[in-house]
Amino acid sequence: MPKVALFVPCYVDQFYPRVGLATLRVLRKLGLDVEFPAAQTCCGQPMANSGCAADARPLAERFLAIFGGYDHVVAPSGSCVSMVRNHYGQWLEGKPGFDHLRTSTFELCEYLVDVAKVARVDGEFRRRVGLHMSCHGLRELRLARSSETMVAPFDKVRRLLAQLRGIELVELSRPDECCGFGGTFAVNEAAISSLMGRDRIADHERAGAEVIAGFDVSCLMHLEGLLRRAGKPLAVMHVAEILEPARLS
Partner 1 sequence: MSGHAASAARFAADEERAHWHDQALWAVRAKRDAQAAAIPEWEELRETAAAIKAHTLSRLADYLEEFERNARANGVEVHWARDGEEHNAIVHRILADRGVTRLVKSKSMLTEECHLNPYLIERGIEVVDTDLGERIVQLAGLPPSHIVMPAIHMKREEIGALFHDKIGTEEGASDPAYLAEAARGHLRAKFMAAQAGLTGVNFAVAESGGVVVCTNEGNADMGTSLPPIHIACMGVEKLVPRSRDLGVFLRLLARSATGQPVTSYTTHFHGPIRGGELHFVIVDNGRSAILGQETFRRSLSCIRCGACMNTCPVFRRSGGYSYGYTVPGPIGSLLAPQRDPRAYGSLPFASSLCGSCSDVCPVKIDLHHELYMFRQELVARRVVPWRKRFAMKVTGLVLGRSWSYRLAGKLMRAVVPRLPRFLVYGPWNPWGRARELPPMPRKSFRDLLREEPS
Smallest separation (angstroms) from partner 1 to the CB of 200: 9
Cα–Cα dist 18/241, whole Å: 8
Minimum CB distance to partner 1, residue 229 (Å): 5
Q: Is 152 in the site for partner 1 (CB under 8 A)?
A: no
174 contributes a contact to partner 1 by CB under 8 A: yes
Binding to partner 1, residues 181-210 (CB under 8 A): 181-199
Kindly provide the b/e burial profile for residues 177-201, where b requires at least 16 CB atoms within 10 angstroms of the residue's own CB.
bbbbbbbbbbeeeeeebbebbbebb
Site for partner 1 in 17-56 (CB under 8 A): 17-21, 24, 36, 38-42, 44, 46-53, 55-56
Give the three-class secondary structure for 123: coil
Residue 58 sits in the site that holds partner 1 (CB under 8 A): yes
The span from the CA of 205 to the CA of 200, in Å, is 9
* 136 in Cβ contact with 82 (< 8 Å): yes
d(CA 75, CA 174): 27
User: Residue 54 or 117: which CB sits closer to partner 1?
Assistant: 54
Q: Quickly list H helices, 83-210.
A: 89-92, 98-103, 108-110, 135, 156-161, 185-188, 190-206
Does position 87 interact with partner 1 (CB under 8 A)? The reply is yes
- From the list 95-103, 106-114, 218-226, 239-247, the region that binds partner 1 by CB under 8 A is 218-226
Question: Between 40 and 105, whose beta carbon lies closer to partner 1?
Answer: 40
Determine the Cα–Cα distance for residues 139 and 86; give it in Å rounded to an integer: 11
Minimum distance, C-beta of residue 212 to partner 1, in the bound complex (Å): 15
**Residue with Cβ nearer partner 1 (129 or 135):** 135
Min dist CB 164 to partner 1, Å, is: 24
Q: Evaluate whether 109 touches 240 at the Cβ level (below 8 Å).
A: no
Asked if 170 is part of the footprint of partner 1 (rule: CB under 8 A), the reply reads no
* Residue 245 sits in the site that holds partner 1 (CB under 8 A): no
Which CB atom, from 96 or from 191, has the smaller least distance to partner 1? 191
Return the number of the residue (90 or 103) whose C-beta is nearest partner 1: 90
From 126, 98, 148, 130, select the one nearest 205 (Cα to Cα). Answer: 130
Beta carbon of residue 155, minimum distance to partner 1 (angstroms, whole number): 15
**Residue of 74, 11, 44 whose CA lies nearest to 220:** 11
Regarding 4 and contact with partner 1 (CB under 8 A), the answer is: no
